[in-house]
Structure 1
Amino acid sequence: MRQKAGRYWRGLFAVLAAGLLVAGCGSSGKQEAGHSKLRWGFLLPTSWDPVTSRTGADINTISLAYASLTRLDKQGEAQPGLAQQWRFSDDGKTLTFDLRKGLTFSDGTVLDAGAVKAFYDRALTQKDSFIKRDLGGVESVSADGPLAVTFHLREPDYQLPYLLGGRVGAIASPTAAAKDKAKLALWPVGAGPFRIVEFVPESHAYFEKNPSYWDAANIHIDRFELTNSPDPATVIAALLSGSIDVAGRISPRRVEEARGRGLTVAIAPSLNVRDVSINRNRPPFDNPKVVEALRYAFDRGEFVKTVTAGLAKASHQPFPPGNAAFDPDTEKLWRYDPDKARTLLREAGYAPGALSIEIAVNPTMNDGMPELVQAQLARVGVKSKLRIVPPGSSTWQSEVYIAKRPALALDGTIGRESPVQNLLATYGPEGIMNLSGPYATPAFLQALDTVRRTPTNDPAYTARLRAAVRAGVEQSPTNYLYSEPWIVGARAGVKNLSILPSQIRWEGVTVQ
């Protein structure tokens, strides 16, 4: 039997639209009788190969073509996916998954224990693997029969069933990888709900329903068209015109406008948290006094009110209030105190107006957050200018996540399936969102190890997880500001959207 996991998400948000019924506003995405089409405006992935995919947001698009070993529910619990059950050994150092019978990839390759082992052998050894770091505790993977796959661990890691519910558990065809690994980045071959039929980089990806998907009975969309999300200023017009049927994000300040024009907006719990990423390896943030000054410089309540129209929640950490990992004590460490910020800056040698910094901004962040960051820095005597990083699915990744060039960047995490994985991404030595990488304190890494070794149903689990969160926040100069729910808009005929904290899924969704 699979491990009875402790509840990862204990949401305080109420899902305002559990089953999405969109009021009429023109024709729907339906193609013809018996054949449905849906157009989704979101983000194209950094890579279509789960091994080289770079960001947490990619799970939304990776999961169109791939299925993972497990699948998280709305409470963040690991449920069966490609694997119908799993079990840890008594010492917690082996984890065995029993796969479903009759699984195949979209290229016809059998998805059995040997195929899963081949995928993880590649993930653990391929030079440009971005999930290798997530599998750091995995010593090897073995096929112990046609349908039994065992992960052999260096130390107990009870986070794995969660971790394998995302990109790390999305299994690609070993046949496709053997033929051309580079092509997988452009042409996914998985066992997910859809199979790709067309892809134009930076533009769109078109799919058709995959009849061999293990949960195909719950997929009611025959053709799925993924395009880049429209600019927030035009997203409502795009929905009304029918160029897209579902928008991955509606600006919080435009929710009432969207509803007033006949669209339905679903607001649901998410793991999205926005932040001011700071690089302690670059001046002026190599000065601890400057880092400490900015701890007191940001009025989170103003961001919630001004940028998110009150829909967000203030947060000093990469988890939203209500999440099991959210640590209430961390919220008491610093408060908004501009006078103290100015005092610390003077102690660092910067009189008011003497310090000037450049802020790297992702072009998708045009909702007023950058300008408010500038305004709040100005109140404590810091001058700044915004630099928009050129658009493109790889530009921000390369300059910020890989090269870590900026001293300060505005960013946000969409969360990860495992809280430990999320902490490693935001604070770990190789963390993609740790702008100060490879900096990470031994105390933080030890706290993470303690969480991994703790079964998620252990009474001590939550306290240990929150201690690790606190250690991460204390070690990092980055300032998290607020958590934002999913705000998803759709047009006529789209029903029953499945919005999970970590991603949007398409099982059960219909288009009329």
Structure 2
Amino acid sequence: MSELLQHPSPPSTRLIRRSALVPVLALGLVVGTTACQAPQTTAEAPQGEEVMSAPIGDQTIVEGGDLVMALSAEPDRLDPTTSSSLYTRYVMQTICQKLYDINENGEIIPQLATDLPEVSEDGLTVSIPVRDDAVFADGTPFNAEAVAQTIDRGLNLEGSSRKSELGPIESITAVDATTVEVTYSEPFAPLTAALADRAGMILSPAALAANGEAFGDSPVCVGPFKFVERVPQTSITVERDPLYYDAENVHLDTITYRIITDSNIRAANLRSGDVQVADTISTQDVGELMNEDGIGILQVGSLGYQGITVNVGNTDGVGAPPGVIDTPIGTDPTIRQALSMSIDREALVESVFGGYNETACSPISPASPFSTDASEACPEYDPEAAMALLEEAGVEMPYKIQMQVSNNPDTIRFAQALQAAVTEGGFEIEILPVEYSTLLDVQDRGDYEILQLGWSGRVDPHGNMYNFLSTGGGANYSGYSNPEVDQLLTDASQSNEIAERSELYGQAVTQVQEDNPIIYLYRVRSLTGYSTDIAGVETFADGVVHLSNVAFVEAG
């Protein structure tokens, strides 16, 4: 399996370290129906088996070239502190490295850090060693002070989506040029996992000083590539950064991310050679593409979920104190329970996705080491009982709801199947398709009744739950607030024992399934198409397509 980055590993870099965080952060994880098998690295795998990469191996690299990737939706602003889009992570993966990353086994590994953190016996002081050979794309030296400034921005920038991911930090100090010290008021186990995501993408201090809140219009980080331009609703272009510390292992001249929202058009562009990589291949197209010469398919299970978010208190925007919603479904958990009970998840997913995706009933994947019977339990499918609950709630039937969804063929197809499925439970769903970027704004503002969106998933359950379900969380789009859930999630974040954390997360899931601010439906199988005249493309369980070390290769 080729690595994301072919950077040198100094003697202090290793995957296991005697630290209070290791029991929850240095875990091997293979996601999908073949979780007990080694992931395959060829495109000839049957449906459902993990294919995470198309390795370069002994193929002859053709240096240079311009690669085009088709994106199924437009990224939001290219600012790691405020971003909430998976598609932004695709772009940032090439231009904005993190302190840590995950590998094909779900293990957290150093990237801009040189080792996993050292943690004091009381769990309150975390020391992070960082590289001494990196430079930002604008020539500014990378050092511990830049790391401290980025983490501080995640905590304090108005509108930050990272604050609740970073935990109860009291102070951040650059001890010296290569050491950052983070002090906590209470232990916080998920820190390293958070720093393997957007919170750990380190931003150029010079660019922050020059651009402030407009940083995302022209982002500057450390990475194999650097930002060139963005044409709204059309494309984003990055080019090779000669200042990158491992530039000799970067092979492409440029990457252009072209926005192509229609899955049929993405597939057609892949066939024609106009694009070399395409994300989110439709389950309706993947069978034919797998049988075509010159095209390979990566297929990887997900740590995330797709679901229905119900507005139960988002009256003043995400992160604001919850308000009072004036819709029956927003105020009465009985109606939300009835909606959940009206959905035959297994039949729905099988009929729409033909076995490629999997049902989901909680934010914790069954492949996670934190999975328990409680987190895997599914609400009963019982449309007759659902109708009885609606009668008990005293609402007119069929109970009508407006559901906003992303305006792409696969999502609308699923929404239509869901619309038909819940009629037996006494519901009538009106589907309102909107552009993906608009849908992100809608969920931020709370300008919706229910909406269908998902989350790409993180290796630590904290990243799939706390931000979305804790009172005032940076991604709590539903406006949900339950003190019991807040306490369970906080307690879980302060423990270093997998069994204890798993039990607490299971209790939280049980309560969330009673309240249903999010009704979990299914987990996607990330299907990424690529042309076989390139190699080095990877997709892991967090859903991000990795292009940093991709190269054109000579035909075999």
Counterpart amino acid of residue 273 in structure 1: Y
Q: Distance in 2 between matches of 1:66 and 1:504?
A: 14
1:407 to partner: Cα distance: 1.2
Partner of 2:152: 121
Pair 1:415 & 2:457 matched? yes
| 1:36 counterpart residue number | 65
> What is the CA-CA distance between 1:497 and the residue it aligns to?
2.1
CA distance in 1, matches of 2:26, 2:484: 25
Superposed, which structure 2 residues align to 1:340-489 within 5 Å? 340-350=385-395, 352-353=397-398, 355-364=399-408, 366-367=410-411, 368-389=413-434, 391=435, 393=437, 395-400=438-443, 402-431=444-473, 434-437=476-479, 439-455=480-496, 458-489=498-529
Q: Are the aligned partners of 1:360 and 1:388 in contact in 2 as well (CA < 8 Å)?
A: yes
Q: Name stretches of at least 5 consecutive residues in structure 2 with no aligned partner.
A: 1-11, 46-60, 313-324
Partners of 1:106 and 1:482 lie apart in 2 by: 39
CA distance in structure 2 between the aligned counterparts of 1:223 and 1:418, rounded to whole angstroms: 33
The 10-residue stretch of structure 1 (256-265 or 236-245) with the greater mean CA deviation from structure 2 = 256-265
Counterpart residue number, 2:237: 206
Flag the 1:323–1:214 CA change in 2: closer, same or farther, 3 A. Answer: farther
**Aligned residue pairs: how many?**
497
Residue in structure 2 matched with residue 82 of structure 1 by the alignment: 112
Greater relative contact order: 1 or 2 (C-alpha under 8 angstroms, separation 6 or more)?
Answer: 1
Residue 442 of structure 1 deviates from its aligned partner by 1.5
Please give the secondary structure, in 2, of the residue aligned with 1:253: coil
- The alpha-carbon distance between structure 1 residues 243 and 183, as it changes in their structure 2 partners (threshold 3 A), is farther
Q: Is the 8 A contact 2:31 2:303 kept in 1?
A: no
1:275 aligns with 2:307: yes
1:325, CA displacement in angstroms? 3.4
Q: Give 1:275 shift.
A: 0.7
User: Which residue pairs with 1:61 in the alignment?
Assistant: 91
Aligned to 1:27: none
Deviation at 1:152, TM superposition (A): 1.1
* Shift >4 Å, 4+ stretches: 19-22
Of the structure 1 ranges 157-166 and 218-227, higher mean CA displacement relative to structure 2 is found in 218-227
Deviation at 1:52, TM superposition (A): 2.4
Separation (CA, whole Å) in 1 of partners of 2:468 and 2:270? 34
Work out whether residues 447 and 471 of structure 1, in 8 Å CA contact, stay in contact via their aligned partners in 2. Answer: no
Distance 2:39 2:262 in 1: 24
Shift of 1:58: 2.9
* Residues 337 and 516 in structure 2, CA contact (< 8 A), matched pair in contact too: no
Verify the 8 A CA contact 1:361 1:388 in the aligned structure 2: yes
Give the aligned residue type for 1:486.
S
Paired amino acid for 1:9: L
CA shift in 2, pair 1:510/1:319, >3 Å = farther
Q: 2: CA distance between counterparts of 1:491 and 1:51?
A: 33
User: How big is each residue's C-alpha offset from its partner over 1:358-396, in whole Å with a ceiling of 9 and x where there is no partner?
Assistant: 11111136341110111012222222211112x253x21
Letter in 1 for 2:90: N
Report how far residue 215 of structure 1 moved.
4.2
Distance 1:268 1:482 in 2: 14
Partner residue in 1 for 2:186: 155
Task: Determine if contact 2:348/2:417 at 8 Å carries over to the other structure.
Answer: yes
Supply the distance in 1 between the matched residues of 2:389 and 2:137 (Cα, whole angstroms).
59
Q: Distance in 2 between matches of 1:54 and 1:300?
A: 26
* 2:4 match: none
| 1:155-192 Cα shifts (integer Å, max 9, x gaps) | 11111111101100000100011011244211110001
How many Å apart are 1:282 and its aligned residue? 4.3
CA deviations over 1:237-288 (Å, ceiling 9, x no partner): 0111222211111111221122233322221122242112222334121123
Question: What residue is the counterpart of 2:546 in the other structure?
Answer: 505
Once residues 189 and 334 of structure 2 are traced to their aligned partners in structure 1, the CA distance between those partners, rounded to angstroms, is 39
Partner of 1:29: none
Do the aligned partners of residues 332 and 71 (structure 1) sit closer, same or farther apart at CA in structure 2, a change above 3 Å counting?
closer
Classify 1:511/1:272 alpha carbon distance in 2 versus 1 (closer, same or farther; 3 Å). Answer: farther
Offset of 1:50 from its aligned partner? 1.4
Letter in 2 for 1:380: G
Q: What does residue 9 of structure 2 align with?
A: none
Q: Which consecutive unaligned segments of at least 5 residues does structure 1 have?
A: 23-31
Are 2:446 and 2:477, in contact at CA under 8 Å, matched by a contact in 1? yes
CA gap of 1:319–1:300, structure 2 versus 1, over 3 A, is same
- C-alpha separation between the residues in 1 aligned to 2:150 and 2:517? 37
For the 8 Å contact 1:352–1:380, the answer to whether it is kept is: no
SS state of the match for residue 402, structure 2? strand
Q: Aligned with 1:114: secondary structure? A: helix
Tell me, yes or no, if the aligned pair for 2:406 and 2:433 is still in contact at 8 Å: yes
- Report if aligned partners of 1:205, 1:226 keep a CA contact under 8 Å in 2: yes
Mapped contact 2:77–2:216 kept (Cα < 8 A) = yes
CA offset at residue 208 of structure 1?
Answer: 1.4
CA contact (8 A) 2:304 2:464 kept: no
SS state at 1:144 partner: strand
Q: Provide the rounded CA distance (Å) in 1 between the counterparts of 2:467 and 2:326.
A: 20
TM-score by length of 2: 0.84
Paired AA for residue 428 in structure 1: S
SS of 2:453 mapped into structure 1: strand
**8 Å CA contact 2:297, 2:527 repeated in 1:** yes
Identify if the C-alpha distance between structure 1 residues 321 and 21 changes in structure 2 by more than 3 Å, giving closer, same or farther: same
Deviations 1:280-307 (A, max 9, x none): 3341211232122112100111222112
